[in-house]
Amino acid sequence: MFQAYNQDQNFLLPPDFKEFLWENHESIILSEIIDSLDHSALLSSYATAADVKGRPAYNPVMILKVLFYAYMNQTFSSRKIAKKLSSDIAFMYLWGNNKPNFRSINRFRKQRWDFLEKLFIQIVLKAQTLWLISFWNVSLDGTKIYANASKNNCHDAEKLQKKMKSLFDQADEIDEIEDEEFWEDNLDHIPEELRTKQGRDKKRKELKEQQEKITEKKQRLETEVLKKQQQWIKQKRINFTDTDSRLMMMKRKDWWVGYNPQILTENRFILSTRVPNTAEDTGELIPSLEKLQEQYDVFPNKQLADAGYASELNYEFLEKNKIASFIPHQKLKVDLKDYHYNQQDNSYQDKQWNTYHFKQNISKKQGVEKEKIKRGRPKKAASLKPHEIEATLYVRKTKQGENKFLYVNKPWQKLCKNNDARLYSEEGIELYKKRSWCVENVFGNLKGNLWFERFSLRGFHGVQIEWNLISLAHNLKKLISHSLA
């Protein structure tokens, strides 16, 4: 014997969608969390009922719930989200007798992105009230995400200018051929309306108006081309599909166009996000911390990061703002422990008794943006702000008459020493072990569990919206799991 099975069973009364879900279902808890947030700014951004012409807008809180739940369940396309509204019970519960089409969902995602930032902050602060985060030990890292573009659509300025020149040359050749074929001396090709004075005057007036329009259009096009050329010269290499993306080596060791999103985390919660297009991490620490301070009016007490963020500029910033740095650096090229300094004549002596005499003080700029292209692959590009580095150069003569130089940067040496004293202490070693657990696990969840490896939207504006959404989805999943614990 089997239990009754009838797919055409009718219901006497319309059931509540909650009856098909568990009381602790993810969608129900998500709805409760979203309802507890402040949506006044979002709701007031819509027109009042008296001003609405035509069909009223969908409730934005409903679309928020649908979007968040979709990103929490590996659904990023607006068309796929709209399809889920008819096939998934949890989505049906969240849309509550509404059914927005994919255009409404996508329009909301693009137009209300600034409110997503505010909601992101609210959710982080909610986690703080639950003692899940404290802004105490914060970790920073970045990961490469593929752009919605093909690397084959990348071009550099030289090739583009040559291509444009060849197109202009082709246009000139066509003009010459047409001039030869339709030359005014060839009377057989003169139309009948041009054989009278009245007809010629009329045609001349028409041609003059047409010429003015062509000239105006040509000037506008030349202005646009000039602007594009300036952008190409500045950027060296751009992608026509997504002009903000850059060619970089991805995590799979393949070259593709993408972005390098940065996250600040604590206890596996994402506190703040940024989406730059530089492959290097060095210049991203300061802007990431400045954004954190702008959002929450607080700096972390301790900052953890990998060696990719080690630089004199970063160490100086952390020390200036009283943030303890736990960032390993490359081995110092010059370790002053191996040299003896003679203050009387301002010289250094190495272990082999070779003496380096003072030559000059050096002041150079570090972090000026550079980007060199070779064989279609960009070399390392730094995005640091120009920064004055003060150092001293010492020199000694060898027996062969050659000059050997000693480059001494005392501020950098001091910053490294202070950082190493913290990092390699017992507390620092234990603390740094938690860095990968805190930040790498987040990337593992975003890419491995939520399947987010490629952006759907394009440009800085679009990718920041998507990165905020997937980060919100991650934080909401963490909040829900703690609610169920």
pLDDT band at 374 (very low <50, low <70, confident <90, very high): very low
Say yes or no: 402 and 420 in one domain: no
Query: Which domain range does residue 210 map to?
Result: 153-239
Say yes or no: 349 and 395 in one domain: yes
Domain boundary among 239, 256, 280: 239
Helices vs strands, H then E, count in the chain = 15, 17
Domain boundary among 177, 211, 239: 239
Position 132 in a domain? no
Indicate whether 186 pLDDT > 60.
no
Q: How far, in Å, CA of 98 to CA of 59, rounded?
A: 9
Mean pLDDT over 1-17 rounds to 67
Say yes or no: 292 and 425 in one domain: yes
Position 485 in a domain? no
Q: What is the pLDDT of residues 203-213, one digit of tens each?
A: 777 777 777 77
Say yes or no: 325 and 439 in one domain: yes
Number of domains making up the chain: 4
Position 481 in a domain? no
Q: What is the pLDDT of residues 125-147, one digit of tens each?
A: 999 998 999 999 999 999 999 99
What are the residues whose beta carbons fall under 8 Å from the beta carbon of 91, sequence distance 6 or more? 27, 66, 69, 70, 81, 84, 85
Say yes or no: 347 and 375 in one domain: yes
Q: How far, in Å, CA of 117 to CA of 435, rounded?
A: 25
Say yes or no: 182 and 85 in one domain: no
Position 448 in a domain? yes
Q: How far, in Å, CA of 409 to CA of 67, rounded?
A: 52
Say yes or no: 252 and 378 in one domain: no
> Backbone phi, then psi, for 455, in 5-degree steps?
-75, 145
pLDDT of residue 377: 36
pLDDT of residue 181: 53
Indicate whether 384 pLDDT > 80.
no
Position 123 in a domain? no
Say yes or no: 233 and 310 in one domain: no
pTM of the model: 0.73
